[in-house]
């Protein structure tokens, strides 16, 4: 345990009591530890001033090793009216772990025991702190996989992937995290430990498991996750198709899905973003948009699907570029160095805003957002990252800067505000997969309208003292409106 010179008497006694209560846990309050756990990958928090950082520092960081540790810590926090924030692996990009000074940070990285693989039933039960990439490697050694591949697979904990309702690039065929989660062990705010029903599917009331998927640490702390697994894919085939317009690309994708073709990966890049893949593929882009498809599974099936898909894309004037653009995409799919480069300058930001919308809304939204944010960005472009039979997700990437901290931050927030407002005005949803955190909490009442009161009522019932991740999901903003 490190000593922090500026500890108050009250802090000293709280930390001492915690150590007595949880002798097996590492409890730290060294400034560098508190600083690291006060933030995630939200670009704004990376540029906090010393004063801003101070106002978000946890009281202490407790690395828990079991659900029982979490339970004891929560009971302690309730007694002492301390806020508790679960910290997965800190790869969140919207400030999910950011909270007011003085909270107790529960670092779940210590929940990292061996996954229990049940190949007979195609399931695995894994402690919540295990990283997604590590789980995938272990499963692969047993001939299994969970085809849930967010770009941050190696950076994110399994519990975090569930708590944020994350999405992976193979979602068109396999679905998102909610489609893999079978059951959860959760520690409720009052310290009770529950395990939700484990079954392939049930019709026994609303899914209690799904209540915690996307709850971002507000309703309980997920300590263990049971997920479906699949055998390793026998084949993966790629196609790159160039179109002269986004509209043609979208029409082709829609027809693919309507006709029951299910590529695992469907990504449609606008001309500005496609340039990067065209360059790496050594193909002349000629200002065209690029569709990347990946077919994953049985050899004969993927071959047939690819053939039909290419017939459909040709009907929409798609130019078949062969496998290379898809292979380039696969090789670089976990590389997010643009984010680090774009955020490297003291007064510059790079960020992504992912939203979802119906087929009717998608094409209009793409142009509307890029036009509206144009005065505030140095550069912006987008791709359609996920598709469903009824619509898809657009992933806007922007770079902005200013002459000083104030101006650059003001531009950053303006881009976010304009984007989310435009999305809501046109009927879309303000997040497809990164979640709410700090970045979207003020928009939740506009996103959900009156139905947000249902979530607020659940929060009130489970956590009447508002111990867990207070202020998150915009729930405090509708306090008093509940009847
Ligand atoms: C380069 C990069 C690429 C990314 N790509 C994707 C992507 O493709 N798809 C995608 O969906 N996301 C992506 N993300 C976002 C991020 O990786 C996900 O949100 C991820 O699920 C966060 O997991 P984590 O363990 O890091 O959680 P954290 O950042 O630690 O926490 C996120 C939120 O969940 C809560 N939380 C964490 N663990 C638990 C738990 N066990 N119980 C209860 N609450 C908990 C936290 O309090 C916080 O509110 C990306 C991020 C980066 C940096």
At 326 the three-state DSSP class reads helix
- The residue whose CA has the least distance to atom 18 of ligand 1 is 92
Catalytic residue numbers? 395
CA distance to 182, 193, 341, per residue, from 403 (Å): 50, 51, 18
Q: Is 229 annotated as a binding residue?
A: no
Q: How many CA atoms lie within 13 A of 213 on its CB side?
A: 22
8 Å CB contact between 218 and 467: no
Q: Does residue 230 surpass a pLDDT of 80?
A: yes
Where in the chain are the domains?
9-110, 116-231, 235-332, 337-439, 451-478
Confidence at residue 4, expressed as pLDDT on a 0 to 100 scale: 46
Is the CB of 89 within 6 Å of ligand 1? yes
R_g of the chain computed on alpha carbons: 23
For residues 345, 31, 476, 221, the Cα torsion angle rounded to the nearest 10 degrees is 110
Q: pLDDT of 285-323, one tens digit each? A: 999 999 999 999 999 999 999 999 999 999 999 999 999
357: CA distance to ligand 1 center in Å?
22
Cα(142)–Cα(21) distance, rounded to whole angstroms?
39
172: CA distance to ligand 1 center in Å?
21
Q: Which residues contact 4 (CB under 8 A, 6 or more apart)?
A: 29, 30, 31, 34
Q: pLDDT of 149-201, one tens digit each? A: 999 999 999 999 999 999 999 999 999 999 999 999 999 999 999 999 999 99
- The residue whose CA has the least distance to atom 8 of ligand 1 is 150
Q: Which residues contact 380 (CB under 8 A, 6 or more apart)?
A: 272, 370, 373, 374, 396, 397, 398, 399, 415
Q: Does residue 480 surpass a pLDDT of 80?
A: no
CATH of domain 235-332: 3.30.70.3450
- Tokens representing 435 are 């979640």
The total number of residues written for the chain in this structure: 483
- Tokens representing 177 are 């995290």
Confidence at residue 12, expressed as pLDDT on a 0 to 100 scale: 87
- The residue whose CA has the least distance to atom 4 of ligand 1 is 152
For residues 29, 438, 383, 311, the Cα torsion angle rounded to the nearest 10 degrees is 100
- The residue whose CA has the least distance to atom 11 of ligand 1 is 166
Q: pLDDT of 331-362, one tens digit each? A: 999 999 999 999 999 999 999 999 999 999 99
309: CA distance to ligand 1 center in Å?
33
Q: Is 219 annotated as a binding residue?
A: yes
In the numeric block, the tokens 């772990």 are attached to 97
For residue 469, give the ligand 1 atom closest to its CA: 47
Confidence at residue 122, expressed as pLDDT on a 0 to 100 scale: 98
For residue 222, give the ligand 1 atom closest to its CA: 42
Confidence at residue 8, expressed as pLDDT on a 0 to 100 scale: 79
8 Å CB contact between 7 and 16: no
- The residue whose CA has the least distance to atom 53 of ligand 1 is 91
Q: pLDDT of 82-91, one tens digit each? A: 999 999 999 9
In the numeric block, the tokens 């290379």 are attached to 324
Q: What is the mean pLDDT of residues 395-421?
A: 98
8 Å CB contact between 345 and 401: yes
8 Å CB contact between 357 and 429: yes
Q: Is 221 annotated as a binding residue?
A: yes
At 377 the three-state DSSP class reads coil
Q: For 282-352, where are the alpha helices, taking DSSP H only?
A: 299-315, 324-332, 337-342
Q: Does residue 264 surpass a pLDDT of 70?
A: yes
Q: Does residue 2 surpass a pLDDT of 60?
A: no
Helix (H) or strand (E) holding 296: strand 289-297
Q: Does residue 11 surpass a pLDDT of 90?
A: no
Q: Is 217 annotated as a binding residue?
A: yes
Buried b (16+ CB within 10 A) or exposed e, 121-130: eebbbbbbbb
In the numeric block, the tokens 């084949």 are attached to 235
Architecture of the CATH domain 337-439: 2-Layer Sandwich (3.30)
CATH class as words, domain 9-110: alpha beta
CA 470 to the chain's CA centroid:
19
In the numeric block, the tokens 């002492």 are attached to 80
Q: Is 222 annotated as a binding residue?
A: yes
Confidence of residue 6 (pLDDT cuts 50, 70, 90): low
For residue 111, give the ligand 1 atom closest to its CA: 41
- Tokens representing 134 are 């590590």
Q: Does residue 1 surpass a pLDDT of 50?
A: no
- Could you please state the CATH topology (level 3) that the domain comprising 116-231 is classified under: 3.30.465
Q: What is the mean pLDDT of residues 380-389?
A: 98
For residue 167, give the ligand 1 atom closest to its CA: 11
Is the CB of 195 within 6 Å of ligand 1? no
Q: Which residues contact 454 (CB under 8 A, 6 or more apart)?
A: none
Is the CB of 96 within 6 Å of ligand 1? yes
Confidence at residue 233, expressed as pLDDT on a 0 to 100 scale: 94
8 Å CB contact between 69 and 42: no
- Tokens representing 182 are 């079978």
Instruction: Using DSSP bridges, classify how beta strands 221-228 and 144-145 pair: parallel, antiparallel or unpaired.
Output: unpaired
Cα(42)–Cα(474) distance, rounded to whole angstroms?
17
Dihedral sign for Cα 7, 11, 13, 15, please. negative
């Amino acid at each position: 345990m490190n000593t922090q010179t500026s500890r108050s008497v009250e802090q000293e006694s709280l930390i001492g009591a915690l150590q007595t209560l949880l002798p097996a846990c590492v409890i730290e309050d060294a400034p560098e530890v508190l600083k690291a756990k006060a933030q995630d990958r939200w670009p704004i928090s990376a540029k906090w001033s010393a004063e801003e950082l101070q106002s978000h520092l946890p009281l202490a960081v407790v690395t828990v090793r079991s659900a029982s540790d979490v339970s004891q810590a929560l009971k302690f926090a309730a007694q002492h009216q301390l806020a508790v924030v679960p910290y997965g692996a800190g790869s969140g990009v919207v400030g999910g772990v950011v909270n007011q000074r003085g909270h107790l940070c529960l670092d779940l990285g210590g929940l990292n025991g061996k996954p229990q693989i049940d190949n007979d039933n195609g399931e695995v039960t894994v402690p919540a702190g295990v990283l997604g990439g590590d789980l995938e490697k272990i499963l692969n050694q047993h001939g299994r996989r969970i085809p849930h591949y967010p770009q941050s697979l190696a950076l994110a904990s399994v519990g975090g992937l569930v708590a944020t309702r994350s999405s992976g690039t193979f979602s068109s065929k396999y679905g998102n995290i909610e489609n893999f989660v079978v059951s959860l062990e959760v520690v409720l705010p009052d310290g009770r430990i529950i395990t939700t029903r484990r079954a392939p599917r049930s019709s026994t009331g609303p899914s209690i498991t799904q209540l915690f998927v996307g709850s971002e640490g507000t309703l309980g702390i997920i300590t263990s996750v049971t997920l479906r697994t699949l055998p390793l894919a026998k084949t993966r085939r790629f196609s790159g198709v160039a179109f002269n317009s986004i509209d043609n690309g979208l029409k082709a994708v829609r027809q693919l899905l309507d006709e029951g073709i299910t590529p695992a990966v469907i990504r449609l890049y606008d001309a500005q973003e496609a340039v990067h893949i065209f360059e790496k593929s050594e193909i002349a882009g000629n200002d065209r948009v690029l569709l990347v498809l990946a077919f994953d599974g049985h050899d004969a099936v993927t071959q047939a699907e690819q053939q039909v898909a290419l017939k459909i894309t040709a009907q929409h004037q798609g130019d078949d570029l062969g496998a290379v653009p898809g292979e380039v995409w696969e090789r670089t799919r976990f590389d997010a160095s643009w984010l680090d480069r774009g955020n490297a300058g003291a007064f510059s930001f790079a960020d992504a805003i992912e939203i979802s919308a119906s087929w009717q809304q998608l094409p209009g939204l793409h142009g509307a957002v890029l036009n509206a944010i144009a005065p505030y960005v140095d550069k912006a472009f987008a791709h359609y990252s996920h598709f469903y039979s009824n619509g898809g997700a657009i992933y806007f990437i922007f770079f902005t800067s200013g002459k000083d901290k104030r101006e650059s931050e003001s531009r950053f927030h303006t881009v976010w505000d304009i984007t989310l407002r435009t999305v809501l005005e046109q009927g879309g949803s303000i997040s497809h997969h990164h979640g709410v955190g700090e970045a979207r909490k003020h928009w939740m009442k506009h996103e959900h309208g009156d139905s947000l009161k249902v979530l607020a009522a659940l929060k009130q019932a489970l956590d009447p003292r508002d111990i867990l991740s207070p202020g998150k999901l915009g729930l405090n903003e509708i306090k008093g409106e509940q009847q």
